[in-house]
Structure 1
Amino acid sequence: MNFKIASTLMLLALPIFVLGAQEKRQSDTTKMYNLKDVVVTATKSERKIYEIPSRINLVPQFVLKGANITSADDMLKGISGLFVSRNFGIFDKNANISARGVGKEQARTLIMLDGVPLNKLSTGSANISLINTLNIDRIEVVKGPNSNIYGGNSMGGTVNYISSPIKDKIGVKAELDYGSYGTASTRVAVTGTTGKFFAGAHGFLRKSDGYIAYMKQDSSTIRMFLDEKIAGGFAGYRLKNGEIRFDYNFADALRGKGDRLYAKGGVIDGNNRYFSQNYRFGYKANSANASWGVTAFLNTENFNEIKWKGSDIFDVRVKRRDYGVWMNYNYTGFKNHSLGFGAEFKGGYVDGSDVYRTTTDLVKNKGEASSYSFYIQDEILLGKGFRLMPSLRADFARVGDGGFYVENGTSITTYLLPYTGNLDGKQHFSFSPKIALGYNTKGGDRAYLSYSRGFRHGSLEDMCRSGMISGGVILANTQLNPEYINTVEVGGDITLLGGIIFTPSIYYSLGTDFIYAVNTGQKIKINGKDRALLSLKNIGEVEIFGAEADVNYSPIAGVDINANYTYTKSTIKKYSADPQFNTVDITGKYLTYTPMHMLNLSATYRNKFLSGAIYYRYTSSQFMDSGNAPDTDKYINNIPALSYTDVKIWKNLSKDIVLNFGINNLFDRQYLDNSFQYSLGRYVYARLNITLRY
C-alpha cells in the first residue's frame, strides 16, 4: 500500500473533524467504543477508560461474537497497533502478537490470562493455546510500555484475556464446529454457584487432517495435522468483601510438521507436542476506600519434537517452568489522589536436550532465572479536568545455574564444541518509570501525554542454547543485557459529527540493547556445507516512529463500523559492531517482521433475524532478513504485502441456540515463508453455539 494513499485517508478525516467541532457533542460514546467502560489492566485496579491517560482498547463480548475466531489470537486481529501473525493458522504451534513495531520477538509484548503472565522466561513466547475462547468475556489491550507495574515483557504493550464472570446458579455453554481440512472441534463450559461457593469446568477438543504446506511436493511432504485437547476448572468462595479462587488449566497438543523421513528403521513423520499446565490461586478484597489482592501461579510445559538433519534423527525434549507470587494494594481515601503499590517475585527454569536416535550424541542446555520487584503509582486530580499519574517500578533479576553442553559427541555435533560450557551468572537492576498527564473535557472528549520506559530480560534459551536454524547456526550469548525502550506518546479521543469517535495516537520510541540475531559474516562447515554463523547481540539503538488512528461509528442500534490505520517505522539507529567478528553492519536497516503500514476495516450488522460481519486487513511488506536482503533463487527474505477479507453470518435459532457460518481469508491469499512453505489459505467453517442458564 502506497503511503500517499494512507495519508490521503487520514486527511479526508479532517473536514469531518472540523464540522464535528461545530456540532453539539453527544452525551456518551457509541456502543463499539465507550470511554466509560471499566478496565483493570492499566493500573491493576478498576478504572474507567477516560480516567486513564493511556491508549487502551477494550474488545467486549458483543464484538467477539461477531468475529471469526478459531483460536485466541484471532480475537486480536483488527486492533490498531497490534500485528498478529500465525503463518500456518491453527497448525502453527505458536502465534506471534507484537505491539507498536517492536518486532516479532513475542517477549516484547506481555500476554496475560486474568492478570497472570503467559510469557515464558525460557523463550519469551506465550502459549495462548491454554486459552479456551468459550470462556473469554473481554480482552483489554494497553498500548505502549507498561513495565511500570508489570515489569519485563511489557515493552510494546500488554494484552489481558479476561474470563467470563459467573452470573447464574447453573450455566452451560457448548460450541460445535466443522471446517476446512477436515477440522472438527467441540468446546464446553459449565459453571455453577451454591450459597457462597462457586465452581466451573471447561473442555476443548479439536482434530484436523491439515494441509500440505511445502511448495515442492514429493513422497517426503505430507499434510500438517492437529490433535489438541484443553481442559480445566476452578473453584472459589465469596467472602464478605472479596473472594478466594483456585484455577487449573491444561493443554495437550500434537501437531504434524508436514514432513516425512524414510529411515532404515522405518518411516518417521515430523511432529511436535507440548503438554502445558497452569495453576493459579487468587485472593482479592475491598473496603470503602481500598482494594487489595494476592496472586500466585505456576506454569509448566513439557515440549517434545522429532527432528532430523539428513539421516541424523533426534528428539528435542524440553522442560520449562515459570512461577511467581505478588500482592497489590490500592487506596482511594485521599481527597485528590489515589495510591497503589505492590511487590512481586517471579522465577523459572529451562532444562532441554537433543537426544540423537542414530548416534550417541546428547546436546543439553539449562538455565534458571529469578526476579524481585516493587512498584508504586499515584493518581493526582489537578482540577479543571486534568489528572496526573506517575509510577515507578524497580526490578532486581539474576540468571545462572546452567550452561550448554555436548555429551558423547560425534562428528555430527563437533561444530558446537567451541561454544559449550557453564552459564556465567549475571545480575542487573531495572527501573521503569511512567508519568502520564490527562485532560478530560466536559463534553466527553479527552487528550493525554505520557512518557514510559519498558524492558525485558534476555530469555534463558537466548543465553544458553546454540544450534541450527533455517539457513545457518545461531550462537547463544550468556552476557546479554536487558532490552529497554523509552516512549513518548500523545493521543486523544474526539467525538465528531454524528457520533463518530476519532481516536488518534502518535508516539516515538527509542530502544536500547535490543537483542537481535545478527549475521557475523563468518561461515561454519557442517557435513561439508558452509552455513551462515549468526550470534545473538545487544545491537545498540532501535528507533520507532509510530501513529495510529481509529474511527468508530454506530449510526443505528446494531450497526458498528470501524476503520483504523497504523504507521510504524522501526529501524536500527545505532549498531554496536563486535570487533571479535567481521560483523555485517545493519545500521539503518528495518526491524524484521514489522510492516510499516496496516489498515483494518470492519462492518457489523446485528439483527434478531440475521446478523453479519465483514473484515478487511492489509499489511505492507516485511523483511525476514536482518540485513534487509532481497529475495534470491535460493532464499526468500521478504514477506509481500498481504490483504485478507473475512466474512461471517449468524442466525439466532432461539434465545439459546445460534448457527454461525464463516470464511477466513475469503480470496485464498497465501505466501511463501523462508522455509518455502505456504501460509494457510481459505478456511470455511460452520458452528453451532448453545447457551443454557438456570
Structure 2
Amino acid sequence: MGPGLAGAQVAAPEPLQEVVVSAKSDRSETPGTPPNTPSPAYGISSARMADFNVVNPEDALKYAPNLAVRKRFIGDINSIISVRSTSSRQSARGLVYADGLLLSNLLGSDFTFPPRWSLVNAAEIERIDVLYGPYSALYPGNSLGATVLISTRTPEKFEGDASVQLFTQRFGLYGTHENFNGFHANAYVGDRVGAFSYLVSVDRQGSTSQPLSFYTAARSTTRAGSADKPVTGAFFDKDQTGADRVVMGVNSEGVTHTIQDQLKVKLGYDITKTLQAQFTAAYWQQNRSSTTGSYLRDAAGNVVSNGNVNIGGNRYVIPANAFAPSNGEDARWLYGLSLRTRNQTGWNFSGTASLFDVSKDISRTANTAGTGPGTVTFGDGTGWRTLDLKADHRPENLPGGHWFTFGYHYDNYRLSNTTYNTSDWQAATLTAFNNAFAGKTETQALYAQDAWYFAEDWKLIPGVRYEHWRAYDGSRSQPGVNLGYPERSKSNWSPKLALEKAFGQDWLARLSLGQAYRYPTVSELFQGRITGTSLINNDPNLKPERSFSKDLTFERTLDASHLRLSLYEDDIHDALVSQTNTTVFPTVTSFQNVDRVRTRGIELAYDARDLFISGFDLAASGAYNHSKTLENAKNPTSVGKYFYRIPQWRANLVGTYRITPAWAGTLAMTYSGRQYNTLDNSDVNPDTFGGTSSFLTFDVKLTYRPARNVRLGLGIDNVTDQRYYVYHPYPGRTFYAEAKVSF
C-alpha cells in the first residue's frame, strides 16, 4: 500500500480534523487530502518545500501539475493562481484556506484581488494540498479552478525556527540594466503545555522588483516641427500585435519597492480529549513605492518626461502623467475562531468563524513625473467575514456503509473605495472629492455529501449544494452624481456525483461530475465609470458563471510512487471576463458575460521516492489544455479562438538527489506553452512587453545541513536568464542564499 493508507492520519477541511481511514476507503486520496475527496489532488509537505527556492507561501505551488502562479517578483502581492480552465486574470475561480480560514479575496476577480498569501508565514506551513475542480459539495462555486488547503503547524512540544534569505537578480531590458535585491527574515516559536498550545511567528521582507511597465507609443508618421524638442534614448520595437512602437521609459508600477511585516499568533486549547478550540490572529502591513523614469534625454543630457518631442524626426506628444510615480501603505487583520471534535468514529462537529479586515489601504499617485498635485485613494473598511458549520458521521465498519457530511456556509463581502484630488500627492493634502464606489455581496449555502461504500471496492459520492446569493448597497459616485443600485438575489442548486472503483491494492478509477455557480463580485458589478447619470462600463446585472465539469481519473499508488492520469472538461456558460463589446458604438470595455467557453484537457502526474537509486526523488507532470470560446454575442471575433491566458501545454520536472544525509541538490524545469493575452488572439507577437510568452525555465538549489538543526542553501531561479512575459516581464536570473536554525 502507498503512503497515507491504512492507519493514516488525514486532515479534513474547514476546520481540519484528524480521522483514521482504512486502506480501501483511503486509496483514492493522496496523503493529507481530506477524506472522501471526489477531486484529483496534489500535495506537498514542508520537508519537500525545503528543496525549492521558497520565499513566500505561494512558491510551494510552483511545480504543481497544470497550475501556475502569476508572481511577477518576490514580494508581489498580486499572485494569482491559473489552473486548468482558469486564467491568471480570474482570481475568483480559486479558493485558498489556511487552517480552514478563507484567504481568497472574492471582492473582485482580477490580478488586483489575489489570495492573501501574506497572512501565512512560509515557515509555519506543515503541508499544502490542491483539489482540482468543483466536485466537492463542501466548497462554493469559486472552486471551479482549484481549492488550496494550507495546514500550519500545531506544536506538541517546545520548538522554534529562525531563518534569513537574501536574493538578487541582474535584469536588463530596454534602457534598464541594474541589480535588484531583497531580503527575507522570519521566525516562530511554539509549545504545548498540557491542554494549551501556541505558535507565534514574525516575518519581515524587503524587495525591489525589476521594471514592471513601460511607457510606449505607436510609431509616429507625423514629421516633427521646430518647436518639438529633439531627444535621444528611445527604443524601437514591435508590440504584442506586431505593430511598430516606441518605448520611452519605465512607468505605472515601474520599479516597485516593498517592505512587508507580519505578526501571527495561533492558540489552541483541548477542552476535552475530543473537543478542541483554536484562535488565530494575524496582522500584516506593507509600505510600497513605484519608481518611474524616462529614458529620454535632450541635447544637454537632461531628462525629458513630457511635452512635444522629436524622436527620429517624428513628433510624439508625451502627456504630463506618463511617468507619474506612486506609493502607498496597507494593513490587514485576519481573525479566526474554530471549535471541533475529533472522534475516531461516529459524529464529529466543527464550527469556524473568520474576519478579514482592511484597516489601512492608501494609494497615492502623482499627476506628473515630479512633486505636486495628484490623487489619493482610500480602501479602509473593506473586508469579509465567514461562518462554516459542519457535521459528519463516520461508520465504524469502514469500508462499508455511509459516511455523511452536511453543513452551512455564510460569507459577506464589503468593498469601499474613495478617491480624492490632492494638491500634494506625497503628503496627501486633500482638495476635492474625485469618485467613489461601494457594494456588498452575501452568500448563504447548505450542503450535503455522502460517501457510500455500496459494494467491495466501490464507492459512490453524491452531493448537493444550495446557494442563495445577493448583492446590495451598490453605489457609484462622482462630483454632483450619486447612483445607487437595487438589491439583487439569486438561488441555485449545484449537484455533484463521483463514482470510484478500486482494482486490487494499487489502482483506482474515479469519474467525477459537478455543477458550479460562480457569482459576480462587488468589483465586477459596481466598479464602473459614470457619464451623465449612467454607469457605462460595468453591468450591475451580470449573470453568475455556470459550469458543468467532468473528470475521469486513474491513479496508481505504491509504497514509493504515485501516478495519476486525468481527463477533464469544463463547459462554462456566462463566463465572467473583462472584454470589449464590439457590437455597440462607441465600444465598451468592461466585465461582461461570455456566452460559452469550453476547456478539455489531460493531465499526467508522477511522483516517486528513491527512484533508480537510493536518495533520488522525482516529480514529473504534463498537461494539455484545449480551451476555446464557443459563443460570444458581444465580441463575435473571439468565437472559435483560444481562451486567453491558458497555455496549451504545461510541464514540470523536479529531481532531488540526497547525496548524503547532509547534502542535497535539486534541479527543476518548468515549461509553459503558447497562450494569448486577448480573446480574439490578436497578440501575435507574445515575446515582448504586453505579450504573454511561452517559456522554458530551469531552477537549482543546493542544501547543506552541517548539523541536525541547521540548514544552509544556495539557489538560482531562471538559470538561463530567459526574458519572458505575462504582459509584464517576469524576473531574470535570481540568486538565493539562506540560513535556517531550528530548535
Tell me if 1:656 matches 2:641: no
Where does residue 390 of structure 1 map in the other structure?
462
Instruction: State the AA in 2 paired with 1:357.
Output: T
Query: Aligned to 2:693, which of 635, 640, 646?
Result: 640
Aligned residues of 2:85 and 2:570 also touching (Cα < 8 A): no
Query: Aligned to 1:96, which of 80, 83, 86?
Result: 80
Per the TM alignment, residue 114 of structure 1 is displaced from its structure 2 partner at its CA by 1.3
Equivalents in 2 of 1:34, 1:644: separation in Å?
39
Tell me if 1:271 matches 2:327: yes
More helix, by proportion:
1
Q: Deviations over 1:314-369 (max 9, x none)?
A: 12221321001121011113761111110122112111112122573421000011
Tell me if 1:225 matches 2:225: no
Instruction: State the AA in 1 paired with 2:160.
Output: V
Where does residue 665 of structure 1 map in the other structure?
718
Tell me if 1:283 matches 2:283: no
Equivalents in 1 of 2:250, 2:545: separation in Å?
45
Aligned residues of 2:154 and 2:198 also touching (Cα < 8 A): no
Classify the secondary structure of the residue corresponding to 1:360.
strand
Equivalents in 1 of 2:578, 2:674: separation in Å?
20
Where does residue 151 of structure 1 map in the other structure?
140
Tell me if 1:38 matches 2:7: no
Tell me if 1:589 matches 2:641: yes
Distance 1:219 1:483, change over 3 A: closer
Q: Deviations over 1:78-120 (max 9, x none)?
A: 111212211x212433101122122220110111111222122
Query: Aligned to 1:573, which of 615, 630, 651?
Result: 630
Q: Deviations over 1:539-592 (max 9, x none)?
A: 111101011001223224432111110111111111133xxxxx5542122221
Per the TM alignment, residue 445 of structure 1 is displaced from its structure 2 partner at its CA by 1.4
Equivalents in 1 of 2:498, 2:65: separation in Å?
21
Tell me if 1:172 matches 2:160: yes
Where does residue 683 of structure 1 map in the other structure?
734
Where does residue 656 of structure 2 map in the other structure?
604
Classify the secondary structure of the residue corresponding to 2:525.
helix
Where does residue 613 of structure 1 map in the other structure?
666
Query: Aligned to 1:110, which of 77, 95, 108?
Result: 95
Gaps of 5+ in 1: 1-26, 409-416, 525-530, 578-582
Instruction: State the AA in 2 paired with 1:151.
Output: P
Q: Deviations over 1:609-629 (max 9, x none)?
A: 311111100001221122211
Aligned residues of 1:42 and 1:142 also touching (Cα < 8 A): no
Equivalents in 1 of 2:278, 2:14: separation in Å?
22
Aligned residues of 2:693 and 2:726 also touching (Cα < 8 A): no
Equivalents in 1 of 2:118, 2:547: separation in Å?
28
Report percent identity of matched pairs: 19
Q: Deviations over 1:451-499 (max 9, x none)?
A: 012222111011111259xxxx982210111112111111111369x96
Equivalents in 1 of 2:550, 2:367: separation in Å?
47
Equivalents in 2 of 1:668, 1:324: separation in Å?
43
Classify the secondary structure of the residue corresponding to 1:618.
strand
Aligned residues of 1:348 and 1:370 also touching (Cα < 8 A): yes
Distance 1:508 1:206, change over 3 A: same
Query: Aligned to 2:377, which of 299, 316, 319?
Result: 316
Where does residue 201 of structure 1 map in the other structure?
200
Per the TM alignment, residue 522 of structure 1 is displaced from its structure 2 partner at its CA by 8.1
Classify the secondary structure of the residue corresponding to 1:249.
strand
RMSD, aligned CA: 3.0
Tell me if 1:250 matches 2:283: yes
Equivalents in 2 of 1:511, 1:542: separation in Å?
5
Aligned residues of 1:390 and 1:434 also touching (Cα < 8 A): yes
**Number of positions where the alignment pairs a residue of Structure 1 with one of Structure 2:** 633
Where does residue 303 of structure 1 map in the other structure?
361
Distance 1:167 1:380, change over 3 A: same
Alignment of 1:112-151 (within 5 A): 112-124=97-109, 125=113, 126-146=115-135, 148-151=137-140
Distance 1:121 1:479, change over 3 A: same
Where does residue 538 of structure 1 map in the other structure?
593
Q: Deviations over 1:5-36 (max 9, x none)?
A: xxxxxxxxxxxxxxxxxxxxxx436x9x9996
Distance 1:365 1:625, change over 3 A: same
Instruction: State the AA in 2 paired with 1:50.
Output: S
Query: Aligned to 1:259, which of 271, 292, 304?
Result: 292
Classify the secondary structure of the residue corresponding to 1:73.
helix
Where does residue 447 of structure 1 map in the other structure?
509
Per the TM alignment, residue 313 of structure 1 is displaced from its structure 2 partner at its CA by 2.0
Equivalents in 2 of 1:633, 1:664: separation in Å?
22
Equivalents in 2 of 1:439, 1:279: separation in Å?
41
Where does residue 3 of structure 1 map in the other structure?
none
Where does residue 379 of structure 1 map in the other structure?
451
Instruction: State the AA in 2 paired with 1:99.
Output: V
Tell me if 1:510 matches 2:488: no
Instruction: State the AA in 2 paired with 1:192.
Output: D
Equivalents in 2 of 1:638, 1:572: separation in Å?
20
Instruction: State the AA in 2 paired with 1:95.
Output: S
Query: Mean Cα displacement is larger for which, 126-135 or 594-603?
Result: 126-135
Where does residue 2 of structure 2 map in the other structure?
28
Classify the secondary structure of the residue corresponding to 1:337.
strand
Equivalents in 1 of 2:251, 2:66: separation in Å?
40
Classify the secondary structure of the residue corresponding to 2:432.
coil
Where does residue 8 of structure 1 map in the other structure?
none
Distance 1:165 1:441, change over 3 A: farther
Equivalents in 2 of 1:504, 1:219: separation in Å?
45
Query: Mean Cα displacement is larger for which, 357-366 or 609-618?
Result: 357-366
Instruction: State the AA in 2 paired with 1:202.
Output: S
Distance 1:482 1:227, change over 3 A: same
Equivalents in 2 of 1:640, 1:363: separation in Å?
36
Classify the secondary structure of the residue corresponding to 1:432.
strand
Distance 1:284 1:90, change over 3 A: same
Per the TM alignment, residue 424 of structure 1 is displaced from its structure 2 partner at its CA by 2.5
Alignment of 1:336-351 (within 5 A): 336-351=401-416
Distance 1:516 1:34, change over 3 A: farther
> TM-score, structure 1 length as denominator?
0.85
Where does residue 51 of structure 2 map in the other structure?
66
Instruction: State the AA in 2 paired with 1:666.
Output: V
Equivalents in 1 of 2:462, 2:16: separation in Å?
14
Equivalents in 2 of 1:651, 1:268: separation in Å?
46
Instruction: State the AA in 1 paired with 2:696.
Output: S
Classify the secondary structure of the residue corresponding to 2:520.
coil
Distance 1:466 1:63, change over 3 A: same
Query: Mean Cα displacement is larger for which, 388-397 or 148-157?
Result: 148-157
Instruction: State the AA in 2 paired with 1:244.
Output: A
Per the TM alignment, residue 152 of structure 1 is displaced from its structure 2 partner at its CA by 3.5
Equivalents in 1 of 2:687, 2:607: separation in Å?
45
Instruction: State the AA in 2 paired with 1:619.
Output: S
Q: Deviations over 1:614-662 (max 9, x none)?
A: 1100001221122211357999653121111111111111111111111
